Amino acid sequence: MREAFDDVLAGTSGGAAFSVVRDGEVLAELWGGSARPGVAWTRDTLVVLFSGTKGVVATVLALLTARGLLDPGERVATYWPEFARNGKEDVRVSQVLSHTVGLPYVEADLPTLDNAGNAAALATQRPLWTPGTRVAYHALTYGYLATELIRRVTGRNVGALLPGLLGDLDIHLGTPAAEDYRLAPVTRAPGYRISTFLSDPERRAIVERMYRGLLDSGEAFNTPEYRRAELAAGGATGTAAAMARLYDRIGSGLVPAPVLAEATREWSAGLDAVNDRPVRFGLGYELADPIGTYGPVEVAFGHSGAGGGRHGAWPADGLGFSFTTNELRAEDVDDRAATLLAALRTCL
């Protein structure tokens, strides 16, 4: 694992970390490079998790389901009455969590960081397709929808629930200013692109509406405002050590087995209707897919993050893993996580 990590690090601008945990035991914990100019990466270096956040939020949703506060088979409108408009009257919670609801972008021109405003807009919006009939990654809107559902059933914002539900893990949604000194600012590798499976220009326009320039222009993701906004689709920060421990704990009883089985079975799969990428989803979690996102295993769950982050679990091996980096690379040329997961498989 150390040799594989050294190879990955040698080709990475900035820094990276990789952690593997099984039954609470650290099997590998590696880090290196620089968090920012003149500052070395350490075990405690925080990074923006981007869509790795969705796996954290999926765990919160599973725990709320275990406590009887949320039912994936229930209508969204049962918890959020205003949602029952424009063809969404019978939309199920499971359709929101498995990216089949048909709301991949917000039509209204609203600030990206406005959770409440974007959720209210989505409640009035008509889906692009009949909910449940197509799957397409809801890059940002997943977060607005999940945040509002959680607020409706708990009365609290999702970031405030993390310590009580996840324990002492070094993962933050609404990162406090006191932790900013540990953060590794994100940079883009030359030639960085999003949606690398997509060539159709019409659907490329949809992608641009989905992401609002967040990843491919500007540096909003490096601002304190972004980290404070509690964006449940991509605004959390964490360490590789903490994320690996999270996925180890999920499989070791944090989420009750029957609830976890439902959350990690296939709820949607196929070619993404917008991005042309093969996808498989559980309830908020990504699942092992045909392009090997989670390494050379048949069963896995977790969530990847823009630019290279990879966080998840291999249930058959009883372990959790996490790769973090502050250099964004395009998916079609980034083999860092794949290299590390292949080495891990060989070790096991």
3-class SS letters over 129-161: CCCCCCCCCCCCHHHHHHHHHHHHHHCCCHHHH
Tens-digit pLDDT profile for residues 224-273: 999 999 999 999 999 999 999 999 999 999 999 999 999 999 999 999 99
Closest Cα to residue 147, out of 63, 60, 87?
Answer: 60
Structural domain span for residue 199: 2-347
Mean pLDDT of 41-63: 98
The pLDDT value recorded for residue 216 is 85
The pLDDT value recorded for residue 302 is 98
CA angle 341, 342, 346 (to 5 degrees): 115
The pLDDT value recorded for residue 218 is 86
The pLDDT value recorded for residue 239 is 98
Residue 217 has pLDDT above 90, yes or no: no
Tens-digit pLDDT profile for residues 117-165: 999 999 999 999 999 999 999 999 999 999 999 999 999 999 999 999 9
pLDDT more than 90, % of the chain = 99
Mean pLDDT of 55-67: 98
Rounded Cα distance between 30 and 233, Å, is 27
In the chain, the number of structural domains is: 1
Q: Are strands 47-48 and 237-238 parallel, antiparallel or unpaired?
A: antiparallel
Mean pLDDT of 39-57: 98
The pLDDT value recorded for residue 106 is 98
For residue 310, give every residue at least 6 positions away whose Cβ sits within 8 Å of its Cβ, in sequence order, or none. 52, 293, 294, 302, 304, 321, 322, 323, 337, 341
Q: Say which CATH number the domain at 284 has.
A: 3.40.710.10
Residue 46 has pLDDT above 90, yes or no: yes
25 three-state secondary structure: strand
The pLDDT value recorded for residue 127 is 98
The pLDDT value recorded for residue 225 is 98
Residue 314 has pLDDT above 90, yes or no: yes
